[in-house]
């Protein structure tokens, strides 16, 4: 199963491009296209009303819109239930109030997104391609970085935890159990719930990390032929290289006949920024301005999946 992430500045035509590619690929393969962008256009592009669930467009093309707010709420509710269950007998904070504060915590959105991607990847495995339309650059980079950041933190915490267990083991070897009351603190790695949980989490995130960095994953960067778009793209490319995420395709969208010089200029700059990455050009759709109600804005059916290209 291959994964494609369509990234780019807001308004460059990510959703359109991702929809177009999905549409084309669905002629050969089974495709699921998921929109993560809070400003959803997926339903509009395909002319259907989408809710949180998977929608069958054709036999080989399924659509899904992720409701970020609902995701966050669900996630928080789940975790709060864990808290309520565990701490039911302890006198604690008023959980309702705490719950509403938590939704402003940094990281909840990214984590919720990441969780939903992970879930999607795990559960929807009878598709050949999953195409993701991502939110604007900042949020995208943040949630793409999340697996790696998390692994780093978990590593540190595991190290401290191991130190603690090591010391407990030493104390046990020296002192043994003092008297009946003392519960034996776990000192073996296999006994410690926290360490086991940390390792499991690390495993999950490492798996996710390796999927995102792997051969079957590709990032598609969509941009427009103007300098602002170029600058934004540079930021994205730098971010992607830092995270070792595989950029596989560049799409120069909304090319107009009169401005090909600019398009060429931008393209050559992009080639310097991202050497050896293929560039595809897509023309500006006159149908847009004409007011014609054209689905998929008449995109030429030449958009190739980067995995098909070699």
Partner 1 sequence: MISSLYRRVRRFLTNIDATHRQKAAALTVVEMEELENIFALLLMGSFTGLPSPPTFLAVELLPFMERELRILCKRAESCNDMLAEMCGTIGID
Partner 2 sequence: MTTLIIVIGFSLYLILYLTYGKKLERDVVKVSNDQSAPSHRLYDGVDYIPARKEVLLGHHFASIAGAAPIIGPALAICWGWAPALLWVWLGNIFIGAVHDYLSLMASVRYDGKSVQFVATDLIGKRTGTAFYWIVFFLLILVVAAFAAIIGGLFVKIPAIASAYTYKIIAALILGMLIYRVKMNFSLATIIGIAMLCFAIWLGTVTPFKATYITWMWVFFFYIVIASAIPVNVLLQPRDYLNSWLLYAGLLIGFLAAIFAFRGFEVPAFASFSPVLLGGKPTPFWPAIPLVIACGSLSGFHSLVASGTSSKQLDKESDGLLIGYGSMFLEGFLSTIVVVAIAGFGYTALKTAAAAKAVEFTLNASNWGATFTGISAKLGLSKANLFVQSYADMVAATWLSFIPAKFVKVLAGMWVASFAMTTLDTTNRLARYCLSEMCAPMKESAQGLYNVLTNRWVASIIPAAIGIYLAASGNWLVIWGSFGASNQLIASIALMTGAAYVAKKLKSGFANAAVIPAWLLWFTVTAAFIWFILIVQPGAIAAKPVPGWTVTVILVVMFILNFVFIYDFVKSKSYKKAE
Q: Under the rule (CB under 8 A), what is the footprint of partner 1?
A: 75, 79, 82-83, 86, 102, 105-108, 110-111, 146, 149-150, 153-154, 156-157, 160-161, 163-164, 167-168, 170-171, 174-176, 185, 193-194, 197-198, 201
Q: For partner 2, which is the closer residue by CB, 178 or 276?
A: 178
Lookup result for tokens 């014609």: 292
For residue 174, the minimal CB distance to partner 2 (Å) is 5
Q: Report what 193 binds from partner 2, partner 1, none; CB cut-off 5-8 Å by kind.
A: partner 1
Q: Taking CB within 5 to 8 Å according to partner kind, which of partner 1, partner 2, none is near residue 262?
A: none
Q: Which residue in the block uniquely carries the two structure tokens 């395709």?
A: 249
Q: Shortest gap between Cβ of 190 and partner 2 (angstroms)?
A: 17
Q: Which of 63, 56, 3, 5 lies closest to 34, judged by CA?
A: 63
* H helix count then E strand count, the chain: 11, 8
Decide: is 91 part of the binding site for partner 2 (CB under 8 A).
no
Residue 182 contact among partner 2, partner 1, none, beta carbon within 5 to 8 Å by kind: partner 2
Among 181, 276, 291, 310, binds partner 2 (CB under 8 A): 181
- Which position has the token pair 């120069």? 252
Instruction: Give how many residues touch partner 2 by CB under 8 A.
Output: 10
Nearest in space to 299 (alpha carbons), one of 272, 281, 278, 277: 281
Beta strand 129-133 with 31-35: parallel, antiparallel or unpaired?
Answer: parallel
Helix (H) or strand (E) run with residue 252 in it: strand 247-255
**53 contacts partner 2 (rule: CB under 8 A):** no
169 binds partner 2 (CB under 8 A): yes
The Cα 162–Cα 156 span in angstroms is 10
Q: Considering the rule CB under 8 A, would residue 183 count as an interface residue with partner 2?
A: yes
- Name the minimum Å distance from CB 139 to partner 2: 38
Which listed residue (90, 178, 261, 276) binds partner 2 by CB under 8 A?
A: 178
3-state helix vs strand vs coil in the chain, percent to 5:
55, 15, 30
Beta strand 55-58 with 61-65 is: antiparallel
**Distance (Å, whole) CA 36 – CA 283:** 25
Instruction: Please name the residue that has the structure tokens 């401290």.
Output: 160
> Should residue 161 be labelled a site residue for partner 2 when binding is judged by CB under 8 A?
no
Residues that bind partner 2 (CB under 8 A): 169-170, 173-174, 178-179, 181-183, 185
């Amino acid at each position: 199963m291959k994964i494609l992430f369509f990234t780019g500045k807001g308004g460059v035509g990510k959703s359109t491009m991702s929809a177009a590619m999905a549409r084309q690929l669905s002629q050969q393969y089974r495709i699921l296209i998921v929109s993560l962008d809070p400003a959803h256009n997926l339903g509009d592009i395909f002319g259907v009303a989408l809710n949180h669930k998977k929608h069958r467009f054709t036999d080989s093309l399924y659509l899904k819109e992720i409701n970020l707010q609902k995701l966050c709420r669900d996630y928080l509710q789940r975790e709060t239930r864990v808290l309520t269950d565990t701490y039911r007998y302890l006198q604690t904070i008023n959980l309702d109030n705490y719950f509403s504060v938590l939704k402003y915590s940094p990281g909840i959105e990214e984590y919720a997104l990441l969780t939903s991607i992970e879930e999607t990847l795990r559960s929807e495995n009878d598709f050949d391609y999953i195409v993701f339309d991502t939110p604007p650059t900042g949020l995208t980079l943040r949630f793409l970085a999340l697996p790696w950041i998390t692994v780093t933190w978990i590593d540190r915490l595991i190290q401290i935890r191991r130190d603690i267990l090591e010391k407990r083991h030493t104390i046990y070897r020296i002192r043994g159990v003092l008297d009946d009351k003392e519960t034996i603190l776990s000192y073996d790695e296999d006994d410690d719930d926290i360490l086991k949980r940390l390792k499991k989490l690390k495993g999950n995130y490492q798996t996710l990390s390796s999927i995102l960095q792997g051969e079957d994953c590709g990032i598609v960067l969509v941009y427009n032929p103007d300098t602002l778009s170029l600058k934004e793209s540079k930021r994205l490319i730098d971010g992607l290289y830092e995270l070792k995420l595989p950029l596989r395709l560049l799409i120069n969208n909304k090319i107009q006949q009169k401005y090909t010089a600019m398009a060429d200029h931008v393209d050559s700059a992009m080639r310097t920024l991202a050497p050896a990455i293929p560039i595809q050009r897509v023309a500006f759709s006159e149908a847009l301005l004409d007011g014609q109600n054209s689905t998929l804005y008449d995109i030429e059916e030449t958009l190739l999946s980067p995995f098909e290209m070699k």
